[in-house]
Amino acid sequence: MMDSEEIIKLGHVIPIIIALCGTMDFFTRFLPVNLFSARAWECVGRFPIAEGPFTPSFRYHNDRSCGDLALMGNLPAYRVYRPETFTTNASGFRKNPTEDTTRPPDILMTGDSFAAGCGVNDDETLTVQLEGLTHRRIYNAGYMKIDLMRILRRIDQLHMVSGIVILQYLERYSVVPIQDLGYTSKETLNRWDRLHKIVDKSWEGFWQVSPVQILSQRLYRRLLNDRILPNTNAAKVVLGTLKNGRPILFFSLEAERFKQPPENIDLSGILKLQWELRQRHIDLLMVLTPDKYSVYAGLLAQPPVHVPNPPYLDRLSKMLEQAHVPAVNLLSVLQNQAASDLNQGVYIYWLDDTHWNARGIRVAAEEIRKHL
């Protein structure tokens, strides 16, 4: 047992340790978070103080970036390292290297992380590759929340009076009704609203991101190796083997969605958006993007027993056609390309990530071009 003197000493040491840890945690928050991140997506959205979803005028570069699935499942042996550069413009959107702010764009690209270009370099995004194929000016507003207020306000800010809005939609998400917030072209954020947003987002980003916590979690994940401690994160990821023997990772939610796709599809939000855009002489083009599992399920050494017939995206594409909403269904073209490339050991999605790579984006861009 410890005597009273040792207890008193320990009572002095513990508060000092806590104070030192708290001080270190506070001051390290002023360091660039990209110094501690494994990929761009972990840090580019820390201070979204402008219109877009990312920190404005921000540049990230990492020579050893890796995929989200390998990190999510804590599977370092399956990481595929590659360089990654991610740059944002002054409005907080992904920057196009040839971006021209003096003229309105011909096309506004919206959607999720696939549209924004998660996991690929600035010159490899869907916006850049499609712009090169079509020679039209395209603005990347990917990862912006999809509602009427934001889409229409962005159109007005870019001074678009005609053209096309591309809405990239990912298979695993539900087609939810797009919110009608009653936006008019006269609606703008006043100075107080802008200042409030800057302060709020800066405060939130400062306190929610802790380099000390990031490093501590990274150290803890090293212990979750099924030798010292069980790897509880592995359940978030499905590990498969392709017919050529190469291991491949999938997001577990994708596999579940593939086996049990939703039966009911609500197009009311899409139709509302199309109607609003037509009032501004702007067309809507839906781009139906398959999950990685849907593309590679048939190429696995042990493919799934139950395959939906017809596939979910084919069913959605048919409904959009009947509703007179132009759409590009990328499912079959990506499946065919993945099958064609397999024997050469070439892939169109990152093996350790949920997202497509530059080659997959190129295939998608060429297919979209046919519908423009």
pLDDT tens profile 63-112: 999 999 999 999 999 999 999 999 999 999 999 998 888 899 999 999 99
| CATH code of the domain occupying 59-187+215-369 | 3.40.50.1110
* Percent of residues, the chain, with pLDDT higher than 70: 82
Cα angle value 188/193/199 (rounded, 5°): 140
Please classify residue 130 by burial: count the beta carbons closer than 10 Å to its beta carbon, then call 0-12 exposed, 13-18 middle and 19+ buried: buried
Give the predicted TM-score (pTM) of the model: 0.89
Report the alpha-carbon distance of residue 115 to residue 169 in Å, rounded: 9
With a CB cutoff of 8 Å and minimum separation 6, the contacts of 279 are: none
User: What digits encode the pLDDT tens for the residues 126-164?
Assistant: 999 999 999 999 999 999 888 888 899 999 999 999 999
Q: Is the pLDDT of residue 183 over 60?
A: no
Provide the pLDDT for residue 29: 62
User: What digits encode the pLDDT tens for the residues 290-346?
Assistant: 999 999 999 999 998 788 889 999 999 999 999 999 999 999 999 999 999 998 999
Q: Are 197 and 49 in contact, with CB atoms under 8 Å apart? A: yes
User: What digits encode the pLDDT tens for the residues 212-234?
Assistant: 676 777 776 777 766 787 888 88
User: What digits encode the pLDDT tens for the residues 30-71?
Assistant: 667 777 788 999 889 888 888 899 999 999 999 999 999 999
Provide the pLDDT for residue 207: 65
Where along the chain do its domains lie?
Answer: 59-187+215-369
- Amino acid present at 334: L
Provide the pLDDT for residue 93: 96
Provide the pLDDT for residue 268: 87
Q: Between the ranges 9-23, 25-39, 337-351, where is the mean pLDDT highest? A: 337-351
How is residue 23 written in tokens?
């001080």
Q: Is the pLDDT of residue 189 over 60?
A: no
Q: Is the dihedral of CA 286, 287, 292, 297 positive or negative?
A: positive
Q: Of 19 and 247, which is predicted with more confidence?
A: 247
Provide the pLDDT for residue 315: 94
With a CB cutoff of 8 Å and minimum separation 6, the contacts of 82 are: 64, 65, 66
